[in-house]
Amino acid sequence: MSQQSRPVVIRNGRVIDPSQGVDTFGDVVLVDGVVHGIESLGATQLPDGWSEFDASGMIVAPGFIDLHTHLRTPGQEWKEDPKTASDAAVHGGFTTICAMPNTYPAQDNASVVGELMLRCASESAVRVRPIGAITKERKGDELAPMHELADAGVVGFSDDGDPVMSPHLMRQALNYSTDLDLPIINHAEDRGLVAEWDMNEGVVASHLGLRGIPNSAESMMIARDIELARITIGRLHIPHVSTGESVELIRRAKSESIKVTAEVTPHHLALTERWVYGENGNVPDVLTENAYDTLAKMAPPLRTEKDRQAVIEALVDGTIDAIGTDHAPHAATDKVCTFTEAANGIIGLETALSLACGIAGIDISLAIERLTCGPRTILGDDSIGTLKPGAKADVAIIDLQGDWVVESSTLGSKSHNTPLLGKSVLSRVAATFVGGVKVWDATGDGAKDA
């Protein structure tokens, strides 16, 4: 993020900024790395040294914020690194990403966090916000030094894919969250109920002969954590909500003013367990070589259509505050194997808009709100996720009707593990600005000098 910005006007777009209740046609002016304002310049001649970007027919929105990104750095750079994660982010309109702590070593002390941030400062084109581990080495045995991590700049705490199984430790962590005013993000999976599984428990798993995990494994952990948040008055954030039962628990907790927020992934909004058949969500008459699609294996697993509709409804009514990608890159060898052996995870930064709007049909204004205002509020950072004057000049330009083919050769991520690979999808990000600098342009035209 060392590039210097020069003044730029993004012209003729439909400007949607939920933070201000703005949905209008106009021009967005970026000066000295911040938003100058939303104006109607018409054919006004720009001063020398300015540039312009023609957003005619497109939507201009604040840059997206992802609460749930796996950088795989340090320790697994063959899957992803700050540069490639940054490339994936800007392709998807994300200008701020939160780095999850399931790294090697884990982000459980100030030294590891500091080294990561130094590397991101030199390699990443987007803003990176670290998330610290809840427990040392993410083992669930002893709390990490949470005050030290907060002083190092973490924006929350999580053991990510490893749930904090001990209610005592989880209660302690939530107690700390009241003092630090940072969310505790616990992977909602009760491993005391099911230790090993392959996909969602149900008809598809039975048909394929795979081990299933029931919805209750998620909802039981969420119910426990909500009760702990109630007694501690701590800040609980629930990641990747995937079931109808979970939605009801969160909805009830919010009605009782418990400090709980939640996110849903684009893939849980758009896809169901049927994608494991490898037929784009269709049920084949007979199983083919496409079945057991490891690219559709993730945690939590893809659920039923009923669950998908429940999380969409929760997104619409505000029960779910944010869309978080859970961008989880894996090497090809992690997926080219049996379904049981395959790693959980799907890349999500570049396809988030296509999944949420193009496939799931989420209204674009709602999607933008949950990709900007929702996460911005959870992070408590008023300088991002908005086009208010003085905010950071982070902008996503969206071609809602633009179709594109998800191909390995054009993905920014180092990994390509998505069931959308090779498929044509609608809705894409045409260009991205970070701090007033254009860092992605899929239009081929670029910004023009005045």
Q: Among all residues, which ones are annotated catalytic?
A: 326
Yes or no: say if 184 and 235 are a contact pair by the CB < 8 Å rule.
yes
Q: Is the peptide bond before 74 cis (omega within 30 degrees of 0)?
A: yes
Cβ neighbours of 147 (radius 10 Å): 11
State how far Cα 280 lies from the chain centre. Answer: 22
Cα distances (angstroms) measured from residue 281 to each of 6, 277, 304, 337: 46, 7, 11, 21
49 class by beta-carbon count within 10 Å (0-12 exposed, 13-18 middle, 19+ buried): exposed
- Cβ burial 346-375 (10 Å sphere, 16+ → b, else e): bbbbbbbbbbbbbbbebebebbbbbbbbbb
Neighbours of 260 (CB within 10 A): 25
Tokens representing residue 293 in the block? 């699609």
Q: Which token pair is 391?
A: 């905010």
Cα gap 276→298, rounded to integer Å: 10
